[in-house]
Amino acid sequence: MIVLITQNTYVYAVLSILSLTLALSFIQKNYRTSSIFVTTSIVFIYALINPDAFEVIQFRIVDTLIGASIAFVAGSLLWPAWESYSINTTIIETLRANRKYLAEINRYYHQFDGLTQYKLARKDAFLQMGNLNAAFQRMSQEPKSQQENIGTINEIVGLNHTFLAAMAALGTFILNRKNDKVSEDFEIILKTVDTNLRQALQNLLHKGPTENTSKEKLEEAYQHLEERFDNLVAIRTAELEKEDFKPIEPELRKNLQVTRLITDQLKWLVTISGNLKRVVNSLENDRSK
């Protein structure tokens, strides 16, 4: 339409620069849109050289159709590489990175050394999560017929996001709060989280299941943590009953924060990892049908 309205070369020059800029901007987000702007930029650039812009448009359309046909035939018949074939491996690597990050959080909570190892594990977990996101985005842009179990995979991606965010929050808190004694309850809950991740991995790898953590022990651990928090609250309540507006002792404040925040984060990690295991099991069951 523009070539019908004006033959001004300055307009063509401005539009070619604008189209090329938009093409580069969209190349990572939406390749289809980027290709459209690449085409328009080429048309306007050639229009600067050859006043007959319709001839350029004609050749560009023909070349695009030929290229698209070759790409479609090669991609569909000769070397198909649908993301649904390889996304299972990406999920496995993501779960492994999450387990390693969780182990580093636990190790650092005990030893408070080896910060470099902790940071590397955290970096790898985020990188693998990024790879999973990219794989899912590629899968969502493929033909509908090749988007096998895309709803379930989308749920796995979302749960991994949430799980990694919860782990990062717990790790950051532990990083800035040195605790001299790690409770047995913490170990039981963290072991439950790791067991859920390991069982999800074993399901994807078609290996035998790992023994679950005792539900009774898990409930006892929850109860002990809640009782510990309630006792701290009772101490603070007793202080206020004796003296209104009494400033809270720094040690008591620290213990309240540590107990409440760590308890909530651990419970949340157990819930998310359990949901992740359930969805992965559902994915494998759907594939086996």
pLDDT band of residue 245 (cuts 50, 70, 90) is low
pLDDT, mean of residues 206-235: 77
pLDDT band of residue 92 (cuts 50, 70, 90) is very high
Residue type, 28: Q
Greater confidence, 76 or 29? 29
pLDDT, mean of residues 86-109: 90
The three-state secondary structure class of 181 is coil
In this prediction, residue 177 carries a pLDDT of 66
Q: Rounded to a whole number, what is the largest CA-CA distance in the chain?
A: 93
Q: Which of 80, 12, 81, 97 is nearest to 50 (CA)?
A: 12
pLDDT band of residue 100 (cuts 50, 70, 90) is very high
Among 106-110, 212-216, 263-267, 279-283, the range scoring the smallest mean pLDDT is 212-216
Residue type, 211: E
In this prediction, residue 238 carries a pLDDT of 77
Q: Which two tokens stand for residue 152?
A: 């379930």
pLDDT digits (tens, 9 = 90+) for 127-163: 999 999 998 988 887 778 777 888 889 999 999 999 9
pLDDT, mean of residues 117-121: 91
Chain mean pLDDT for the chain: 81
In this prediction, residue 145 carries a pLDDT of 76
In this prediction, residue 131 carries a pLDDT of 93
Exposed e or buried b per residue across 250-283, where buried means at least 16 C-beta atoms within 10 angstroms of its C-beta = eeeeebbebbbebbebbbbbbebbbbbbebbeeb
pLDDT, mean of residues 232-259: 74
Q: Which of 196, 199, 217 is nearest to 208 (CA)?
A: 199
Contacts 24+ apart (CB under 8 A), 221-228: 221/184, 221/185, 221/186, 221/188, 221/189, 222/185, 222/189, 222/263, 222/267, 224/183, 224/185, 225/183, 225/185, 225/259, 225/262, 225/263, 225/266, 226/263, 228/259
pTM, rounded to two decimals: 0.69
User: Cβ-count burial of 79 within 10 angstroms (0-12 exposed, 13-18 middle, 19+ buried)?
Assistant: exposed
Phi and psi at 272, nearest 5°, equal -65, -45
pLDDT digits (tens, 9 = 90+) for 165-197: 999 988 888 777 665 566 788 888 888 999 999
pLDDT digits (tens, 9 = 90+) for 39-72: 888 877 877 777 666 666 777 778 878 888 887 7
pLDDT, mean of residues 184-212: 84
